[in-house]
Amino acid sequence: MKGEHLFRSKYKSALTNCALLNNLDEETNNEILSLFHHEKWPKNTCFLNHEKFFFHFYIILSGRVKMYQVEPNSGKELTLFLLTKSDVFDLFCLLDGDKHQVYYECLDNVKVLAAPMTELRSWLNRHPEHYKNLLPYAGKQLRSLENYVSDITFTDISTRLLKLLIRNVNDKSNTLELINDLSNKELAYLIGSTRAVVNRHLQRLKQNGSIKISRKRLQVKNLSLLLHLLENQKLANLKI
């Protein structure tokens, strides 16, 4: 009992922004947390076995995990989501009970809470009113995926890169977060491009003073200029 109490008290505050545990009273929060245990995954750990995520559900405590697809013939990779603290997966398996053919890789040392999928699904089926907690998160992910597909299909690489940079700037501090230390290859996976093409566009942004590149880290120096460039790019695309 003492161990369970310490576990709940340790992670309850860390999960206040998690969609699954949002707006729960203390008793319900403790009840659902009792289904989880703690796991640590080293950086660069890859999960290629879909069974793992069919049988377990995860909440990220710290670190970044990319969810990606690989084209089997060409080996071309595309990152669908960059998941971080308070994100959950695999939401598709939880909701529909089917296997999800995607891959995951840890970009940092990652800490997660894990629960058996059957137990969590059973708990939600006994308390269906709590499914509503997942709906805004699922809607946000679907909207993000819709925008992603639209960009990959209709916009050029320069526009995609500008959107990626601007989207990951913290509104309060104006600093680039989440992607600031990713390699050009990982940035390319996020926008459906190649490392060489991304590097070329980044160098142009560096030359015009909108970003700074140092020690494999990106910094946004002039957000207003990035926004201006994006607007001009949109206008140019409309004229084509």
Write the CB contacts of 30 (distance below 8 Å, at least 6 apart in sequence): 8, 12
pLDDT tens, the chain, 240 aa long = 555 556 666 677 666 778 777 777 888 888 888 889 899 999 999 987 667 777 899 999 999 999 999 988 888 899 999 999 999 988 888 888 777 788 999 999 999 999 999 999 999 888 888 888 888 888 999 999 999 999 999 899 999 999 999 999 998 888 999 999 999 999 999 999 999 999 999 999 999 999 999 888 999 999 999 999 999 887 766 655
DSSP helix, strand, coil percent of the chain (3-state; round to 5): 50, 20, 30
Domain ranges of the chain: 2-141, 155-239
Instruction: Yes or no: say if 117 and 55 are a contact pair by the CB < 8 Å rule.
Output: yes
Q: pLDDT at position 9, please? A: 65
Using CA atoms, how far residue 238 sits from 210, 211, 230, in Å, is: 24, 26, 12
Q: Any idea what the Cα angle at residue 43 is, between residues 169 and 98, rounded to 5°?
A: 85
Q: pLDDT at position 177, please? A: 94
pTM of the complete model: 0.87
Instruction: Yes or no: say if 62 and 111 are a contact pair by the CB < 8 Å rule.
Output: yes
CATH topology of domain 155-239: Arc Repressor Mutant, subunit A (1.10.10)
Instruction: Yes or no: say if 35 and 120 are a contact pair by the CB < 8 Å rule.
Output: yes
**Block residue for tokens 């989880």:** 36
Using CA atoms, how far residue 59 sits from 17, 24, 86, 130, in Å, is: 11, 16, 6, 16
Q: What is the dihedral of CA 38, 137, 144, 71, to 10 degrees?
A: 40
Q: pLDDT at position 8, please? A: 63
- Per CATH, the homologous superfamily of domain 2-141 is Jelly Rolls (2.60.120.10)
| Structure-token pair, residue 84 | 């971080």
